[in-house]
């Protein structure tokens, strides 16, 4: 069975030593009393839940999967899942970062994100059941009526009910303007909704008494395309005036998808047969509410791959220290054994350090993004809220695509460390690879994230938001530019920062002449931007480590951080040169290929 130790020390390093989140949190009235000790204590308990409750049912849940009953349309989750969910609810974990007005604990979002990273490491498929509820909760809190909030939010925050987002249909994925699900007004404020949805995570299960579906549908007079989409609440069971459960609604599971990974997460085909729903927000403005869910989900998906990267690394590291095979090229290291542990071999170390660098860089970006979201929601200064929102919008596609791409690379290389044993189910490594693969696909494929970054977030405002992140890099360069010990970290990001300006302008000019140029360059562009962002955070982490070492701190944690930073800049960051070169080759080599693709 796989092992997992919650990375509490590294979380604390990022939050308290690099980002100093307590100071930012205490500047907001909602978190005026928050301190590092409280955050650490909550996450320590959260780590125990992940490691002791969720990890033991991860491989067994993957093996057993979910069971679908055709006659009743019911779905049964694997053995132990329902009991684990009951412990999750009893521990108050569902309410962690939710609004106290509706029964939440009101803790910072960064605490919830770190908790979810640990749950994703321990059991990504299980974590998806409560995870989808957070997005539905956020959409209702932002766009629901007072009556809707009173009816649904208390139960969702307590964990008694879960939520979903029902977007995709059999004939359309991300292009929601093609959707056909219809909503007929009934004259009493309700609608009868009919249609079919697919790929609905946690769409049906036995963990809770009710499931609150947020469904996209079209009104009879809706304009065509995305401008004619409305959002509706469609509960599995109707809710009576006294908040008790009423009749079974006309929404049910028509089947489960048979998947490569996350097999114990019920990915449902949902049938709506004159199901009763109520409108969320304004008619034909459903994407406003849905984007709240989608953006939360995109951050969550990045967090899923972060969790898998961490747990894969931990297992590969332990195996590499224990497994003996061949001798070191520079002579025997374990002379008392017939062979050396494979960790002595350079390429094994490269694989391990790749996963470690991607995990720790991803954690820094995830925590930073969580704080931006916190400021956007709760900061008292409107200018700070606006600035935070703009930066978060820029970073969201990078969180989703860059971290998940890296997660696929990291889980694959960590499986490689195991050799043939990595391909065997009992070790758990092949499951991490299978589970990681979906993260590059759902909530908008990584290509769509790349188009969003380059087309909407960068070129649409002539790089204004990108320049705001550039200012963060500029400030760090100005602070450490004359520090010789920081040169190996500062010089690469300073050079790439300058190159990004020219690179972006060049792609914008070419895209203005031919939009396919943006499509051809976008994926490469996002990875360049991702490395620039990771490079910034790795430089900041190296800065803290160097200062601690200079002050006489002998904790090996700081030396390890410094060594990982050096590896990242030496072996991973240089990918940017190749990416910029391939991005500049243009669209012709892709689009002028009718004969090749005949």
Contact 269, 196 (CB under 8 A): yes
Write down the pLDDT at residue 118: 98
What's the pLDDT tens digit per position in 38-77?
Answer: 999 999 999 999 999 999 999 999 999 999 999 999 999 9
- Tell me whether strands 161-166 and 210-217 are parallel, antiparallel or unpaired: parallel
Assess contact for 154 and 308: CB atoms under 8 A.
no
Same domain, yes or no, for 24 and 122?
yes
On whether the CB atoms of residues 139 and 214 are closer than 8 A, the answer is: yes
**Residue at 400 is within a domain:** no
- Regions of the chain where pLDDT drops below 70: none
For 320: left if phi > 0, alpha if psi spans -120 to 50, otherwise beta; the answer is alpha
Q: Is 35 helix (H, G, I), strand (E, B) or coil?
A: coil
φ and ψ of 168, to 5 deg: -70, 145
Same domain, 130 and 183: no
In this structure, what CATH number is given to the domain that contains residue 170? Answer: 2.40.110.20
Which residue in 443, 480, 506, 575 is the catalytic one? 443
Q: Which of 180, 183, 181 is nearest to 192 (CA)?
A: 183
Distance CA 491, CA 97 (A): 39
Its domain, for residue 527, covers 458-598
3-state secondary structure 374-433: HHHHHCCCHHHHHHHHHHHHHHHHHHHHHHHHHHHHHHHHHHHHCHHHHHCHHHCHHHHH
Residue 314 lies in a domain: no
List the beta strands (DSSP E) in 430-581: none
Residue 478 CA to residue 356 CA, distance in Å, equals 28
204 annotated active-site: no
Report CA 316 to chain centroid distance, whole Å. Answer: 22
The residue among 285, 317, 333 that closes a domain is: 285
Q: What percent of the residues of the chain are helix, what percent strand, and what percent coil, each to the nearest 5? A: 65, 10, 25
Q: Are residues 263 and 137 in the same domain?
A: no
Q: Is residue 537 part of a domain?
A: yes
Q: Where residue 49 sits, what CATH number does that domain have?
A: 1.10.540.10
C-alpha triplet 101, 104, 108: angle, nearest 5°? 110
* CA distance linking residue 191 with residue 210, whole number of Å: 19
| Distance, CA of 576 to CA of 30 (rounded, Å) | 40
Based on the fold, state whether residues 179 and 130 are members of the same structural domain: no
Which of 285, 318, 347 is a domain's end point?
285
Q: Are strands 210-217 and 191-201 parallel, antiparallel or unpaired?
A: unpaired
Kindly report the backbone phi and psi dihedral angles of residue 96, in degrees, each rounded to the nearest multiple of 5, phi listed first: -45, -60
**Residue 360 falls within a domain, yes or no?**
no
What lies within 8 Å, CB to CB, of 194 at 6+ separation is 181, 182, 184, 272, 273, 274, 275
Closest CA to 186 of 290, 289, 275, 252: 275
Q: Based on the domain organization, do 167 and 251 belong to the same domain?
A: yes
Q: Are residues 135 and 178 in the same domain?
A: no
Long-range CB contacts (< 8 A, 24+ apart) of 423-432? 425/59, 425/63, 426/1, 426/59, 427/2, 427/315, 427/319, 428/1, 428/2, 428/58, 428/59, 428/315, 429/2, 429/312, 429/315, 429/316, 431/58, 431/59, 431/62, 431/261, 432/2, 432/308, 432/311, 432/312
Q: Which of 158, 287, 270 is nearest to 204 (CA)?
A: 270
- Of 237, 252, 285, the last residue of a domain is 285
Give yes or no: residues 110 and 232 share one domain.
Answer: no
Whether residue 495 lies inside any domain: the answer is yes
Task: In whole angstroms, give the CA distance from residue 329 to residue 349.
Answer: 14
C-beta separation of 105 from 98 below 8 A? yes
Q: How far apart are CA 61 and CA 53, in angstroms?
A: 13
- Report how many domains make up the chain: 3
233 membership: H or E segment, kind and range: strand 230-235
129 and 174 share one domain = no
* Region label for 376, one of left (φ > 0), alpha (ψ between -120 and 50) or beta (otherwise): alpha
* Cα 227 to Cα 190, 308, 439, 456, distances in angstroms: 21, 37, 28, 18
> In this structure, are strands 191-201 and 267-280 parallel, antiparallel, or unpaired?
antiparallel
Residues 121 and 181 occupy one common structural domain? no
Q: Is residue 291 part of a domain?
A: no
Residues 120 and 182 in one domain: no
Domain-embedded: residue 245: yes
Looking at the structure, tell me whether residues 462 and 596 fall in a common domain: yes
d(CA 313, CA 410): 8
Question: Does residue 69 share a domain with residue 138?
Answer: yes
Kindly report the three-state secondary structure assignment for every residue of 99-141. CHHHCCCCCCHHHHHHHHHHHHHHHHHHHHHHHHHHHHHHHHH
103 within some domain: yes
d(CA 115, CA 300): 11
- Contact present, 223 and 284 (Cβ < 8 Å): yes
pLDDT given at position 460: 94
């Amino acid at each position: 069975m796989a092992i997992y130790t919650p990375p509490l020390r590294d979380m604390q390093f990022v939050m308290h030593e690099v980002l100093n989140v307590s100071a930012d949190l205490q500047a907001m009235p909602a978190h005026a009393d928050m301190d590092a000790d409280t955050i650490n204590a909550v996450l320590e308990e959260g780590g125990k839940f992940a490691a002791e409750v969720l990890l033991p049912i991860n491989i067994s849940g993957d093996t057993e999967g979910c069971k679908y009953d055709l006659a009743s349309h019911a779905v049964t989750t694997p053995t132990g899942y329902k009991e684990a969910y009951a412990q999750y609810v009893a521990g108050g974990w569902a309410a962690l970062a939710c609004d106290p007005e509706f029964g939440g604990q009101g803790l910072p979002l960064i605490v919830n994100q770190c908790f979810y990273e640990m749950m994703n490491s321990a059991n990504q498929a299980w974590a998806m059941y409560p995870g989808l509820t957070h997005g539905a909760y956020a959409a209702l809190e932002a766009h629901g009526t007072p009556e809707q909030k009173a009816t649904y939010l208390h139960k969702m925050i307590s964990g008694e009910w879960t939520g979903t987002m029902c977007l995709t249909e059999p004939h359309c994925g991300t292009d929601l303007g093609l959707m056909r699900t219809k909503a007929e007004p009934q004259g009493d404020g309700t609608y009868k909704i009919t249609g079919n949805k697919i790929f609905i995570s946690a769409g049906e299960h036995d963990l809770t008494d009710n499931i609150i579906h947020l469904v996209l549908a079209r009104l009879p007079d809706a304009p065509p395309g995305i401008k004619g989409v409305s959002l509706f609440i469609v509960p599995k069971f109707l809710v009576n005036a006294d908040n008790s459960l009423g009749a079974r609604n006309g929404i049910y599971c028509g089947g489960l998808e048979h998947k490569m990974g996350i097999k114990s997460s019920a990915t449902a085909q949902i049938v709506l047969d004159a199901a009763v729903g109520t409108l969320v927000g304004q008619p034909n403005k459903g994407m406003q509410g849905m984007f709240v869910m989608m953006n939360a989900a995109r951050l969550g998906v990045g967090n899923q791959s972060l969790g898998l990267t961490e747990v894969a690394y931990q297992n590969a590291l332990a195996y590499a220290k224990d497994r003996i095979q061949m001798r070191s090229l520079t002579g025997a290291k374990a002379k008392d054994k017939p062979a050396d542990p494979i960790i002595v071999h350079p390429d094994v170390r490269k694989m391990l350090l790749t996963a470690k660098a991607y995990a720790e860089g991803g954690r820094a970006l995830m925590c930073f993004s969580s704080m931006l979201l916190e400021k956007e929601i709760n900061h008292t200064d409107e200018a700070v809220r606006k600035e935070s929102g703009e930066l978060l919008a820029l970073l969201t596609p990078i969180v989703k695509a860059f971290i998940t791409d890296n997660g696929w690379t990291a889980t694959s290389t960590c499986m490689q460390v195991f050799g043939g044993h990595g391909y065997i189910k009992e070790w758990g490594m092949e499951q991490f690879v299978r589970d990681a693969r979906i993260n590059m696909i759902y909530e908008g494929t990584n290509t769509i994230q790349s188009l969003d970054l380059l087309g909407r977030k960068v070129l649409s405002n002539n790089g204004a938001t990108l320049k705001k992140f550039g200012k963060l890099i500029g400030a760090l360069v100005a602070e450490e530019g004359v520090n010789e010990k920081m040169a190996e970290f500062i010089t690469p990001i300073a050079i790439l920062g300058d190159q990004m300006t020219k690179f972006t302008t060049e792609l914008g000019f070419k895209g203005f002449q031919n939009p396919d140029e943006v499509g051809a360059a976008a994926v490469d562009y996002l990875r360049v931007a991702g490395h620039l962002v990771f490079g910034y955070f790795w430089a900041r982490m190296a800065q803290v480590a160097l200062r601690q070492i200079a002050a006489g701190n002998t904790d090996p944690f700081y030396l390890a951080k410094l060594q990982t930073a050096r590896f990242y800049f030496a072996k991973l960051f240089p990918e940017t040169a190749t990416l910029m070169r391939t991005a500049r080759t243009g669209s012709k080599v892709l689009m002028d290929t009718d004969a090749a693709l005949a």
